[in-house]
Amino acid sequence: MSNVAEIEAAITALSIREAEEIREWLEQWLEDQQQMTPEFLASIERGKADIAAGNSRTVSAS
C-alpha cells in the first residue's frame, strides 16, 4: 500500500471534526510551501540586507 493510500485509509477512520482539523493543517502547510519559493526567500534576504545597511524608512500609521 502506498503512503497516500495509507493516509486516505487513516483519514476515513477519523471523525468529521478530526478530518476538518487535518484539512486546516494541510491547507496551512500547502500555503506555507507555496510562499517559501526561492524568489520569496531571496526577497526576505534582500530586505534584511537593506535594513542592516540603513536603507529603510519608518512609515507612520494613518
User: For the segment 4-41, what is each residue's pLDDT rounded down to a tens digit?
Assistant: 999 999 999 999 999 999 999 999 999 888 887 888 88
**Per-residue pLDDT for 62 more than 80?**
no
CA–CA dist 32, 22 (Å, integer): 15
Q: Cell digits for 2?
A: 502506498
Q: Which of 35, 33, 31, 11 is nearest to 21 (CA)?
A: 11
Q: What does the pLDDT average to over 36-62?
A: 88
Q: Which of 8, 41, 38 is nearest to 26 (CA)?
A: 8
| E-state strands within 1-62 | none
**Per-residue pLDDT for 2 more than 80?**
yes
